[in-house]
Amino acid sequence: MIYKHALRPSSDTPTHCRLFQAFTGIRSIVHTHSRNAVAFAQAGRGIPCLGTTHADYFYGEVPVTRPMTAEEIQSAYERETANVIVERFNDLDPKRVCAVLVHSHGPFVWGPSGKKAVENAFALEIIAEMALKAIQLNPQVQPISSYLLGKHFLRKHGPASYYAKFKSSGAPPARTGSLSLHLCLTQGLPTGTNAEA
């Protein structure tokens, strides 16, 4: 090879590699240290779904991984970071929950395009701040019902979404206001997307 790169790729690159391998169908991955999402990661807590803002983007709790072991940290740390994410998604669908908190670290978020993935990361930070404040106001606050969760998520995502129906029928949406919130995973992902162990 005649040329050596002046710049190296982001140090988190092995994490991206492993996630692209495991979550087939995702096109873009975002990693930030946004403060409210990190607060949940550092507390070792997932972000519970306490309202419809959350449900518009994420189908249920945004999960937190287990803490990484000494061996994982001392070996291929960045790749093992992805492995604890993949492990956490054994019983979750990355198409329906497009974000995760790595314990004591921070959020990884994905989506069908670079722009959508960043929007999802921004939505995650917003719902983390909202949840944090709601828990402060009422430490016994409970997640929203499965009915409300399903109503809000599924009307925007997947084949039963109002949006998809409007698109397929060509009929105009009756209420365009709520459709402006449509962001997360309605485009680009194949239906069979699943985490591979």
Q: Which residues are catalytic?
A: 56, 163
Which CB sits closer to another protein, 17 or 154?
A: 17
How far, in Å, CA of 61 to CA of 64, rounded?
9
144 near 50, Cβ under 8 Å? yes
* Of 94, 69, 91, nearest in space to 18 by CA: 94
Please, what is the minimum distance in Å from the beta carbon of residue 50 to another protein? 21
> Is the CB of residue 140 less than 8 Å from the CB of residue 49?
no
Q: Distance of CA 29 to CAs 158, 167, 182, Å?
A: 20, 27, 19
Binding-site member from 92, 95, 113, 171 for another protein (CB under 8 A) = 113
Note whether 112 and 27 are within 8 A (CB): yes
Could you say which residues in the range 4-63 bind another protein, by CB under 8 A? 4-14, 16-17, 20-21, 24-34
Q: How far is the CB of 124 from another protein (least distance, A)?
A: 9
| Residue closer to another protein (CB basis): 16 or 95 | 16
Residue 135 binding another protein, by CB under 8 A: no
Closest by Cα among 193, 197, 1 to 97: 193
- Verify binding: residue 117, another protein, rule CB under 8 A: yes
Nearer to another protein, 37 or 144 (CB): 37
Give the interface with another protein as residue ranges (CB under 8 A): 1-14, 16-17, 20-21, 24-34, 113-115, 117-118, 121-122, 125
